[in-house]
Structure 1
């Protein structure tokens, strides 16, 4: 059974220290996930059901662990790590990229996918924006990024001026900013940008798109599940299950409806590697 909770409902919950989240969850059969309502990673559909790559895999994993009463909390992406650390939920199931900065704050499972970047632009791409270099080359342009997402760091590290980077609370706000001209492009993963582009005739995925390269390295994000420090046993239980699931025909069938598949498999890359600066 999956129960959906608004972030506001649990906003007053005090941080609590659990002796062992895995044991407690197995004893009660209950655990709380958090999503950021970002298609196709983790969101609620029109019926209030948890959908997306991360919740689908998480629910499958938790069921295998004997935990079948799963509460799903919706919060802004930028509130995921603070909320996890405050004890408002137990697992981040939002397709969050694993990187050293985040690894300093929370634990991560091994990745379940890898994906590249993309831009959302006005239909017809009137400014011919096909990559981060196009924004950097014209200081009059503004690039929208979601608060708490990796694209802010990507843009800064690429050399785009800080006054060109506009931080927005979520992607619907980003689409609105693009439509009104507050930003000239919205940055995010290619799957998210394609999904947003499919919902409005006013915007589209920028195609073709130049691979993002920083310091000679092509940038691909690797996403996984987030856990509180101290919940190593829960993280390890996820990793054990994921090791037998990721890349299997069952896994591919589970995630293909969301645009993932064999082309987004993470290979042998581990969280330990991604957490290393």
Structure 2
């Protein structure tokens, strides 16, 4: 029996500008997204119906019923052979790094491989969540509109440390607290030669959701300060609507050493390190 394994990488908003709001309430975004080599893992095995089992270090509180985006995504393929899906949850929930959306996108890739059909796309995928389309093909991209307008971007690998203080932040509450819903878009994205060039450009951009998120969860400011104080950290910023933050470094060795230092100082925080960039090859379904 065919069993597929699919990696669901963490999504990181390197910059996130809120540029407007539609009449239906959706916010218009201009964001630069890259993916991390850390994430969740899904296993899909043929079955008569759809089912989900969730385990792993971050599985507590993650539902296994039809409200889970993984099952909603798998159901998009309509009637036919089902799948027994096992989600190994390694990313903290509600953390601003697209864990649920990336899991849903991995389920879409896995179901397409399991049934040997075309990958689902279009409005049905967007309805799962604004982040799901960008997670379907986890390569660096500029995302506009509500997140469905994707333009591939070439980025150098960006050594990073990801940190979450284990505080969940409500995305609707962060958007509601946003002082201005109409802000300048990102600067034109240049061709980057190396990580230092990209980091210097990113330093001139923003995450418009960071100030309201810090107001709602002041511990985010503590995380940003801790990252900024690490040796070799060139830029510290929050991802998405929080509370996960990232620090960028110029070498993998510097990021690894910094993450070890932070983990020792703050053992209650979730942290990881790795180079942000293109994770499409790692995220492709693999036959087991």
- Higher percent of residues as strand: 2
- Give the TM-score, by structure 2 length: 0.23
- Give the TM-score, by structure 1 length: 0.24
- Higher percent of residues as helix: 1
